[in-house]
Amino acid sequence: KNQVEQSPQSLIILEGKNCTLQCNYTVSPFSNLRWYKQDTGRGPVSLTIMTFSENTKSNGRYTATLDADTKQSSLHITASQLSDSASYICVVTGGGNKLTFGTGTQLKVEL
Amino acid sequence: DGGITQSPKYLFRKEGQNVTLSCEQNLNHDAMYWYRQDPGQGLRLIYYSQIVNDFQKGDIAEGYSVSREKKESFPLTVTSAQKNPTAFYLCASSLVFGGGASAQHFGDGTRLSIL
């Protein structure tokens, strides 16, 4: 069964600190992996997309990594800001272009 | 600005009532989707449409219906047969179907509650 597991479920950090969110998947065959940011009461917005051959991709203060061998991805947030408070969702595309969504990591950045 | 507009933002349903959630996009995307989001669960696919006048059931289609008469519009009806409709509903679109290089663009959702 295709699954995407994210950890931690929730996280609280101080403004200016770094953090790393994890995504493990069992989706096969693998096509790509996306990270989305979802603000409270809003729809998700795509941050990055990783294909099989890509190890690292950055989008400003967001850096995603992918290890296709171990089926793990991480999203690293550098110098966190209050506006980073959101849910971060990992989505894996498998066979037939079918998407499997993780349950998300709820991040709160505090002063 | 191009995007997806969902309305209303909040909706209340009475027992035995059908309600319709609106989704309009001006991105010229062929594919459109409806998802349901519940606390502690990943997004679940209700229905999708790869092209106008065509739509397919997703993983949790029971109690829901859709139409795709125009490329820009993909309304979702929550029927009285859906016994647990309280959730956050998200509409999305993409240039082509699925999760390829074309990202899905999401609307800002409709929160449906039972009166």
Residue B112's DSSP bridge partners are B11, B87
Residues in chain A: 111
The pair of three-digit structure tokens given for residue A39, joined into one six-digit string? 């603000």
Residue A7's DSSP bridge partners are A22
pLDDT class for B114, splitting at 50, 70, 90? confident
> Which residue in A43, A97, A102 is closest to B100 by CB distance?
A97
Q: How are beta strands B10-13 and B110-114 bridged, if at all? A: parallel
Which residue of chain A has the CA closest to B5?
Answer: A43
Q: Please indicate if any CB of chain A lies within 8 Å of the CB of B58.
A: no
Q: Please indicate if any CB of chain B lies within 8 Å of the CB of A54.
A: no
The pair phi, psi for residue A55, each rounded to 5°, is -100, -35
What pLDDT sits at residue B75?
Answer: 98
Distances (CA, A) of A14 to A19, A39, A79, A85, B62: 10, 18, 10, 11, 44
Q: Please indicate if any CB of chain B lies within 8 Å of the CB of A88.
A: no
Q: Please indicate if any CB of chain B lies within 8 Å of the CB of A87.
A: no
pLDDT class for B1, splitting at 50, 70, 90? low
First CA to last CA distance, chain B? 35
Q: Please indicate if any CB of chain B lies within 8 Å of the CB of A66.
A: no
Q: Which of B43, B47, B56, B90 to mutate to test the interface with A (most CBs of A within 10 A)?
A: B43
Would you say the C-alpha torsion A54, A66, B40, A37 has a positive or negative sign? negative
pLDDT of A73 over the 90 cut: yes
What pLDDT sits at residue B115?
Answer: 82
CA B100 to chain centre: 20
Mean pLDDT of B91-113: 89
The pLDDT tens digits for A28-66 are 999 999 999 999 999 999 999 999 888 999 999 999 999
- What is the phi-psi region of residue B109: left when phi exceeds 0, alpha when psi lies from -120 to 50, beta otherwise? left
pLDDT of B94 over the 90 cut: yes
Mean pLDDT of A69-84: 97
Cis peptide, bond prior to residue A44, ω within 30 of zero: no
- State the burial class of residue B37 (Cβ atoms within 10 Å of its Cβ: 0-12, 13-18, 19+): buried
DSSP sequence for B82-104: -S---EEEEEEEESSSSSSSSPP
pLDDT of A84 over the 80 cut: yes
The pLDDT tens digits for B3-47 are 999 999 999 988 889 999 999 999 999 999 999 999 888 899 999
The pLDDT tens digits for A5-34 are 999 999 999 999 999 999 999 999 999 999
Q: Which of B37, B88, B95 to mutate to test the interface with A (most CBs of A within 10 A)?
A: B37
Greatest pairwise CA separation for chain A in angstroms: 44
pLDDT class for B71, splitting at 50, 70, 90? very high
pLDDT class for B72, splitting at 50, 70, 90? very high
How far is Cα A10 from Cα A19, in angstroms, rounded to an integer? 12
